[in-house]
Amino acid sequence: MVNTVLVTGGAGYIGSHVVKLLGERKERIVVLDNLSTGFAESVLYGELVVGDVGDQALVERILREYEVDSVMHFAAATIVPESIADPVKYYTNNVCASNALLGCCRQAGIKQFVFSSTAAVYGQPAGGIATEDTPENPINPYGRSKLISEWMIGDLCSATDMRSMILRYFNVAGSDPEGRIGQSTIDATLLIKIACEVALGKVDRLQIFGTDYPTPDGTAIRDYIHVNDLATIHLLALDYLREGGASSTLNCGYGHGYSVRQVIAAVERVHGSRLNVVESSRRAGDPPNLIANTDAIRKQLHWHPQLDDLDTIVSTALAWEEKLLAGME
Ligand code: UFG
């Protein structure tokens, strides 16, 4: 019998897209989310328990009562600038809570653990392209909090028969192509979301943070991956671990990037309007260029992206913003 999957943070942006795909293939799911940034209505399948990942009594009860044998751990604080302003929040939410969860996993004998990590663990890799064996050198508290969590998971896997898949996300964007869920975070700071909000008049202007980077147009370059393609990776990772695959760390991106100006141009193209753009100084903690080498994930998980197209990413993001706007009216 296949047991239940615990999805922490399953009411959040990325977690809810993974829950959707797990539910579509009829997995048994329990979501644990404190709804601090997530939304109950984003959980399309499974059961939602409202609570904290750091609440060990609660987590122990969930693991036992739902017969959980696999954990997907999304719950975290994820905003780079906020992590610089409030590092304690990041070490509490991301490191301490993950450690509490791992303690419960050890006690319950969890077999498979899939972890949401980040390209921010690399900092600024030489040449702007990161392979999984590029030395980690995070340049902000968010990246450091995730790297510490990676180490904790690795150490527990060495000590027990738990196996893990650490997924290092690059820049996740877009929304469910069927329009049911999307990026709803209040006060989001992500480029594509804000650019869409500006296009729709929800926000009055888009600031470009830095126009003097050593890139072709002077603005920073990122590897934007559609959230649905990223969600699919999690199912492949779970299958891989269930089939006995060894613990691994994999980059999640497309292997090519776009500058801030290219993203703005895509939003203008898809929406058919000009954005109100202001050039500003660099934002603290931002690397100039961050792109994934994706050879490993394509080979190991046989992953084939379905939505590797900037205009597709932008059009799903824009459709979701339109839906949110309609809901507010
Ligand atoms: N940017 C702007 N204006 C904005 C927002 C962003 O110019 O209003 C720029 C940023 O300076 C950066 C780029 O757009 O150069 C992307 O910024 P985001 O805030 O969208 O994303 P980040 O690259 O800062 O961080 C995201 C996730 C992290 C993850 C990282 C990995 O938030 O969790 O991608 O690359 F670690």
- CATH superfamily, domain 4-173+224-252, is NAD(P)-binding Rossmann-like Domain (3.40.50.720)
- The DSSP annotation for 168-211 comes to EE-EEE---TTSS-----TT---HHHHHHHHHTTSSS-EEEE-S
Q: Is 78 in the pocket of ligand 1 (CB under 6 A)?
A: yes
Which residue is it, tokens 């994706």? 294
Quick one: angle between helices 227-242 and 13-24, nearest 10? 60
State which of 78, 190, 256, 263 you would mutate to test the pocket of ligand 1, scoring each by most atoms of that ligand within 8 A of its C-beta.
190
CA–centroid distance, residue 231 to ligand 1 (Å): 20
Q: Write down the domain spans for the chain.
A: 4-173+224-252, 191-223+255-328
The pTM (predicted TM-score) of the whole model is 0.97
What is the tens place of the pLDDT at every residue in 165-220? 999 999 999 999 999 999 998 778 899 999 999 999 999 999 999 999 999 999 99
At residue 1, the pLDDT reads: 59
- Residue 45 a catalytic site member: no
Which residue is it, tokens 């975290």? 76
CATH placement of domain 191-223+255-328: 3.90.25.10
Report the chain's mean pLDDT, rounded to a whole number.
96
Closest-lying ligand 1 atom to the alpha carbon of residue 195? 8
